Amino acid sequence: MVFTHSLPLVPAPVSATAGEGRMPITVTTRVLGSSPAATQLIEAVERRSGIRLSRADASPADIELRVDPAVAAAEGYTLAVGDRAVVVGADEAGLFYGVQTLLQLLREDESGWGVLRAEVQDAPRFSRRGVMLDVARHFFDVAEVKKFIDSTSALKFNHLHLHLSDDQGWRIHIDSWPLLTELSSSTSVDGHLGGFYTKDDYREIVSYAAERHMIVIPEIDLPGHTHAIGVAYPDLVEAPVLNDGLVSESARLGQPLPVAGEIYLGWGVGHSSVRIHEERTYEFVRDVVRELAELTPGPYIHVGGDESLGTPQADFDLFAERVTAIVFEEGKTPVAWHEMGSAAEIAEGTIGQYWGKTTPEGTHAEEAVHFVERGGALIMSAADVTYLDMKYSEDFPLGLTWAAIIDVRSAYEWEPTAVLDVPDAAILGIEAPLWSETTRTLSDVEKLVFPRAAAQAEVAWSPKEAPDRVWASFRERLGSLAPLWKAEGVDFHPADEIPWSER
């Protein structure tokens, strides 16, 4: 098979032509540009090669970075590397992504460091390209979240969904309900160390993400996955409902069952619910949403909605309608897992996040489609292809298998618009979640996320029909990322499917 180019780029650009040879990178190479992307480029080249590029005051320079809205659609860019390199972004985000492409072209050979000569025109297929980090099952501190932002934004992801609460812990300080972090944040799954973000911590994460053109979406999971709320405020939650699946799975794993008012150290699901018919519950929800909205410049607040197995359906639907309305009233757009689509009067414009399988089961498709019928749209997170916490193989030491075993090829070969019967325009894009039941450290996270996040990045960014948008091309290009990831300290899994490059 012949591909349109042999450039080692992931995700594949809209168009790219490889030139002959390389543009040398040395200590005399100068960068022109006032954008923050110029500083990010200089720092990244130094981390990768040890070479500190200098600044140019005026054109011509060896590397020129600028913004021109005429060159591409939003977030797009052009890149030309010959005797000099010019990256032009349609906006600051496009310039940032153009710099990420330039960094993928930076290579070392016998003659030293250089940038492969190329012509690239590029813009994203989907506006929504997300990853999720579960900091509730296991907590990750500010520095770890920043590193996760660095490595995922480099693949042109532009949304970071933080799963801030679950049965095991509450991870964001709320002034009006201070016991949430005082009593419900100290531990993680299996009794591992917990933690939480102060408001300044959270602002720091949001600011750092914004510098890399990533929107942070905070999630407070409701009305289920709420055992930790009950540890702090028992009057807000119902007694645990011990379903058969929870009991058998807890026994198999040797994990405790949930006990009302006590910190929960297992990872079973479906046993918790807030009290749907108590007005104090909605006072709590409104306070939390208001404080999160004040901290979050992005347009979204995620209100959960998954696996509320202990909540009667009518109660669940009532809650879905009220909580999504509250988010709109506080000036944000609600996002909810697809189950909340069961509510007939879910707030108009709510965005649904579909985590069912690529072949929908039960009522999942019907629930998801209802978001579109109510004037909303969908984010595709089909669990059997996008869930980064699933194992690569049966014997992989990290991850779970309930959705699927997902090797790199399975993560790559799926189509977001082919899962549900909705117009293509109703699909905002994709999100690849990392649930943290088995990931105790950031290294554990990275082994599960990389390289499969690169597959999801290409699904979200690259044209559906591009000649290089095929597995045979992708696996070769993916292998070329190994030197870059090693230089950045990303502890990726060297999957056997991929021919990993040394330089």
- Containing 431, the helix (H) or strand (E) segment is strand 427-434
DSSP character for 274? B
Interatomic CA distance for residues 279 and 282, integer angstroms: 5
Could you please report the per-residue DSSP string of 132-155?
EEETTTS---HHHHHHHHHHHHTT
Query: d(Cα 366, Cα 420) in Å, to the nearest integer?
Result: 9
CA dist 66 and 78 (Å) reads 10
At residue 349, what are phi and psi to the nearest 5 degrees? Answer: 90, -5
Which pair of structure tokens corresponds to residue 16? 């790219």
Give the separation between CA 452 and CA 54, rounded to whole angstroms: 35
| Amino acid at the residue 72 | A
CA distance 430 to 84: 36
Q: Are 500 and 481 in contact (CB under 8 A)?
A: no
Rounded (to 5) percent helix, strand, coil in the chain: 35, 20, 45
Taking Cα atoms as reference points, which of 278, 262, 286 lies closest to residue 177? Answer: 286
Q: Which residue has the tokens 């990853």?
A: 131
373 labelled catalytic: no
Scanning 374-489, the segments in alpha helix (DSSP H) are 383-386, 408-412, 442-449, 452-461, 471-479, 482-487
Residues whose CB falls within 8 Å of the CB of residue 425, separated by 6 or more in sequence, listed in order: none
One-letter amino acid at 231 equals V
Q: Tell me if 139 sits within 8 A of 168, measured CB to CB.
A: no
- Please state, in angstroms and rounded to a whole number, the distance separating the CA atoms of residues 503 and 497: 18
Sign of the alpha-carbon torsion through 313, 314, 318, 321 = positive
501: phi > 0 → left, psi -120 to 50 → alpha, else beta; which?
A: beta
Active-site residue, selected from the candidate residues 307, 476, 488, 497: 307
In DSSP terms, which residues pair with 217 in a beta bridge? 161
Q: Which residues are 132's β-sheet partners? A: 161, 433
Report d(CA 53, CA 85) in Å as an integer.
13
Helices (H), 69-198: 92-104, 142-153, 179-183
Catalytic residue IDs: 307
